[in-house]
Structure 1
Amino acid sequence: MSFKHSLVFMCFGFILTSCSLKKFKNIDYKTFHIEETPAPTLNIFTKRGTKDSLQPVLIFVHGGYWNSGRKEIYNFLGRNFARNEVTVVIPDYTKSPVASYKEMTAQIAQSIKWTQKNISTYGGDPSQIYITGHSAGVHLSSLAVMNQQYGVAPNTVKGIILNDAAGLDMYSYLLENKPTEQYNYISTWTLDPENWKAASPYYFIDEQTPEIKIYTGTKTYASIIAGNEKFVQELQKYQPDVQIEFLDKKHIPMVTQLFFPWNDRIDEIVAFMKK
């Protein structure tokens, strides 16, 4: 078969499998709005006919320096996991400078609580919720789960997949790199070091931390590599077998790889969820 015919066959197969999926758009997950901005919503991707056999659930939180990005960019990612019999939830959240990290995290926490309460309606198993994201999105999802201030009950989330996670120890980072107006960092973090520590998942690692799987790019930002290595060193006190899986990628390709349906990371994450 020629390359051209192979490509046509792949595209045709993609269309056929897409027909077996269902997308629910812009669902109100009952979170709060800030100032004059609308309350954010979420999208759900699932296979058709799943209500009789509930699937594990993956919440994906997008990144973007805490001041940009939107859930619609990640539709391909949602479909790719849904093809693997995973119900996918992709929430949006209010960005800085309108929102601080605390308000963003509270919104993500609300999306988790909404998912646990409602996801069975969409074919997902509320007892098998996992969460992931990329960059800033991993920070928000981890903090929402690990810091009990945000009201996500222990054992609600069974596992966290860190994908080139930023912000795991913002306290140490901001002590050396004081926040400025660049990237709206003052609006996001404030100038108070106590807020920086409260914003850092690193300081909430304990015996209740869900099982964690970690991917980090070898060509990503040096601060991300250092933050992930420090995080893992502390996490190994409670999860001694956890290790970083380093991938030969820069920061953005760490998430765009998940846009391709035959990526090994998708298989690995699904296996982590279904083991």
Structure 2
Amino acid sequence: MLNAVTSSAGYSVTNDIRYGAGDRGTYDLYVPDDADGQTPVVVFFYGGGWDSGSKDIYPFLGQSLASAGIIVAIPDYRIYPEVQFPAFVEDGAKAVAAVVTAAREGEMGVPAGSHPLFLMGHSAGAEIAGLLALDRHYLADAGLASMRLAGFVGLAGPYDFLPLTEERYKRVFPPNRRQASQPVNFVTAAAPPMLLIAGDADTTVDPANSRSLGDKVRAAGGKAIVDIRPGVDHIEAVSAMATALPIGDRAIRPKVIAFIEELK
């Protein structure tokens, strides 16, 4: 419904750009018509419990940020049961590396330039983006050892979710790897600035995850804005980003855009 009423004006879309092997090794790219070499780039990771989801659901998110003058890449990634943790995070790192290369080499249809890089995610995608932002070995292994992130935006993300209680998640995260799946375990003073948004009506991911990560980042000397929105549920944390028919708190989209504009 959101995508059906989303405007197609003011930006271009290139679908299914290859970054890895297989059906899920591609990303979609949304580029504002007035983008230049300084336009910020957001790589957005969608949610779905690590066992579902598709970039095809998120044109409304691509348009939302592209209409604000931001280049957006939305990758697919492998999911359970094809893979377990950390394979989907490794896919995320490869996608980020491909996007960075395209930006640096002028392959996005805009001039090569600095293109400040932001990572963003919703739900399980926020866990993936959070690990990429904090556990730097993923980006290093993908060839981005010296990459500096401009910021991280997490929407209703699970960052500190042990112990696992649901059997489906116990299968996604093998016991010997679970500690490595928690973004809070990798916070250092080098953490990028963060905007962590969640809703106090979220019954899928406890907003305490956002508070925990924010507290850890600030204790390490970093910047983290934690915004728990009243009455917002799990899906509304991302559906509120839509411009044509926002479902949820209309303050969320301006907050995200202002955060990126401040740090780009």
Tell me the TM-score normalised to structure 1 length. 0.81
Any unmatched runs of 5+ in structure 1?
1-10
Secondary structure of 1:67's aligned partner: coil
Residues 209-236 of structure 1, C-alpha deviation per residue, up to 9 Å, x if partnerless? 1111111101113752222222222111
Q: CA deviation at 1:128?
A: 0.2
| Residue number among 121, 131, 147 corresponding to 1:133 in the alignment | 121
Q: CA deviation at 1:74?
A: 0.6
Q: CA deviation at 1:198?
A: 0.8
Q: Is contact 1:56–1:125 with CA below 8 Å preserved after alignment?
A: no
- Flag the 1:47–1:186 CA change in 2: closer, same or farther, 3 A: same
Alignment of 1:1-275 (within 5 A): 15=7, 18-29=8-19, 31-33=20-22, 38-51=23-36, 53-119=37-103, 120-122=106-108, 123=110, 125-150=113-138, 151=140, 152-166=144-158, 168-170=159-161, 172-174=162-164, 177=165, 180=167, 182=168, 185-192=169-176, 195-221=177-203, 224-239=206-221, 242-248=224-230, 249-260=232-243, 263-275=250-262
Alignment partners' CA distance in 2, 1:55 and 1:246: 29
Q: Is contact 1:63–1:134 with CA below 8 Å preserved after alignment?
A: yes
Alignment partners' CA distance in 1, 2:34 and 2:213: 40
Percent identity at matched positions?
20
Alignment partners' CA distance in 2, 1:126 and 1:111: 18
Secondary structure of 1:140's aligned partner: helix
Residues 106-152 of structure 1, C-alpha deviation per residue, up to 9 Å, x if partnerless? 00011111111112422375540101110000000111221122124
- Flag the 1:259–1:239 CA change in 2: closer, same or farther, 3 A: farther
Counterpart of 1:121, as a letter, is E
Say what the alpha-carbon RMSD is for the aligned residues: 2.2
Residues 217-258 of structure 1, C-alpha deviation per residue, up to 9 Å, x if partnerless? 011137522222222221111346534111120111111111
Alignment partners' CA distance in 2, 1:74 and 1:39: 15
Secondary structure of 1:58's aligned partner: strand
Greater share of residues in helix = 1
Between the two proteins, the alignment pairs up a number of residues equal to 245
Alignment partners' CA distance in 2, 1:228 and 1:106: 23
Alignment partners' CA distance in 1, 2:175 and 2:44: 29
Larger Rg: 1
Alignment partners' CA distance in 1, 2:114 and 2:178: 32
Higher mean alpha-carbon deviation, 42-51 vs 93-102, is at 42-51
Residues 40-69 of structure 1, C-alpha deviation per residue, up to 9 Å, x if partnerless? 210011122534x54111111000100001
Q: Is contact 1:215–1:247 with CA below 8 Å preserved after alignment?
A: yes
Higher mean alpha-carbon deviation, 80-89 vs 220-229, is at 220-229
Alignment partners' CA distance in 2, 1:23 and 1:101: 30
Counterpart of 2:259, as a letter, is F
Residues 64-89 of structure 1, C-alpha deviation per residue, up to 9 Å, x if partnerless? 10000100111011011111110011
Any unmatched runs of 5+ in structure 2?
none
Alignment partners' CA distance in 1, 2:154 and 2:24: 26
Tell me the TM-score normalised to structure 2 length. 0.85
Alignment partners' CA distance in 2, 1:101 and 1:27: 24
